[in-house]
Chain A
């Protein structure tokens, strides 16, 4: 096959775009409404007591269902358990220009981490396991209640910044590598 100028075609691009409409599950919608009000909530398993943030509607360890009745509020602050510094490649559509960090955060009162949280107001070499951070909330009118798919905080929390408190010890984060 040749192109208009008679040159052999060795590559052709085939750009595919698929659109999905994902319904926000009732459990996630409830979580999203709470986030709009500035409250981070989870479900506490009635058997083992683990607190899942965001809630799943069940405990995957005990295999029991959880509901609104099991809802508890956790703190909007916690500990960095792990992080990655990303150097953005300038592909089409990339909005990032500078290196930035995404971290897993173990919120005070939650039993597991929430991953891929943007770290703000911190020099990248300063980031460490055990660093105490607090949520930076988006303005209330920018918090969407239906952008939650069972993980993350959606648009309600833009990132986490250091509190300046002393670091948490390894006993806090050693069980949470991710």
Chain B
């Protein structure tokens, strides 16, 4: 395998609704990521983006997003109708080919334009769940209920996760929901969809993020503290939630094993738990002990731009190495209902 590192990352502050177009939102983010990489725009060998036209409410919205990259002369690029973390995976694979050394990854999402509890229904199977309009919050509540019924968590455990996300987010200028709150305070909220309270659920967010990847010997020339991708893998559970044990995440466990999570201690993990109970499931599935700092950014409970949340997790894991001097961190992304698809990315700093 070719060694590939993340050398820069940038994101827009998550907002309840942006005034600008999706392309305009991306423009300064992509520019910042490229400038921080120390590379010239023309040095980017491959570009991969992630977004969903169903969020934008416009066909081929991803094409106009490319204008934010400065795609002239023509560039080599690809797009996934998925979170930017999966675009990062494609870029990592592309760099394995060996003929290009640098890649730009970006993603964007404007959830504010429509009703997510309608739009995300479209990712369900068209025969059984789609006609029921089984929305993502209700499906998440079923998963949380399964966890509670199995005695694996209490409602106060969910509230602890939600309260910690808000407290951690106070130090994150890009977060959308923050506050010095306690679990007891959050437990006094009425349910949104039982057993989930509003604070157990993510905010609706617009956002964008970008990262630059680099392979080979030139990494040291442009970045003093790169984050090397030591392992990256993504796996899927069956599409229909009814055939799964919702109290576990088999695909996350498999991805973690393949990414080598357990090979050495993880200091910081940023997991894309958009609902509080998901963090508990993911801690188990990824084998993260109590000594691991989980979601110091506040995580997806504090800001959840769909299609960007996973790339931000990897970006935050990168920042822990690049800015905070950590050595081994983890970024996780998910897609589909009830943690159906999971991507795990293990990052390491330069060897001491």
Contacts and interface: CB of A to CB of B under 8 A. Distances in A.
Interface of A: 14, 16, 18-23, 25-28, 56-58, 60-63, 65, 149-150
Contacts of B64: 150
B122 interface: yes
A177 to B, nearest CB: 15
Contact of B19 (A14, A19, A25, A56): A25
A110 to B, nearest CB: 17
Given A22-B113, A25-B20, A150-B64, A14 B126 contact: yes
A14 B67 contact: no
Classify chain B: how many residues form its interface, as a range.
20 to 34
A20 B24 contact: no
Query: Which of A19, A20, A27 has most chain B Cβ within 10 Å?
Result: A20
Given A16-B122, A23-B17, A57 B24 contact: yes
A27 B24 contact: yes
B23 A63 contact: no
Given A26-B20, A61-B72, A150-B64, A20 B114 contact: yes
B27 A18 contact: no
* Leading 7 A-B pairs by shortest Cβ distance: A20-B57, A63-B70, A60-B67, A20-B113, A20-B114, A25-B21, A61-B72
A18 B53 CA distance: 13
B27 A58 contact: yes
B1 interface: no
B41 interface: yes
Contacts of A26: 19-20
Given A20-B114, A22-B58, 17 more contacts: A18-B57, A18-B114, A18-B115, A18-B118, A19-B115, A21-B114, A28-B21, A56-B23, A57-B20, A57-B21, A58-B24, A58-B67, A60-B68, A60-B72, A63-B31, A63-B70, A65-B27
A62 B71 CA distance: 9
B342 to A, nearest CB: 27
A27 B67 CA distance: 16
Interface in B110-131: 112-115, 118-119, 122, 126, 130-131
A144 B342 CA distance: 45
A25 B57 contact: no
B294 to A, nearest CB: 35
Contacts of A63: 31, 41, 70
Contacts of B114: 18-21
A147 B33 CA distance: 33
Contacts of B68: 58, 60
Interface in B30-63: 31, 41, 54, 57-58
Contact of A149 (B54, B58, B70): B58
Contacts of A60: 67-68, 70-72
B241 to A, nearest CB: 20
B130 A14 contact: yes
Contacts of A23: 17-19, 112-113
A18 B113 CA distance: 10
A86 B46 CA distance: 38
Contacts of B71: 60
A94 B168 CA distance: 53
B24 A25 contact: yes
Contacts of B115: 18-19
Contacts of A149: 21, 58
Nearest to A61: B72
B21 A150 contact: yes
B133 to A, nearest CB: 9
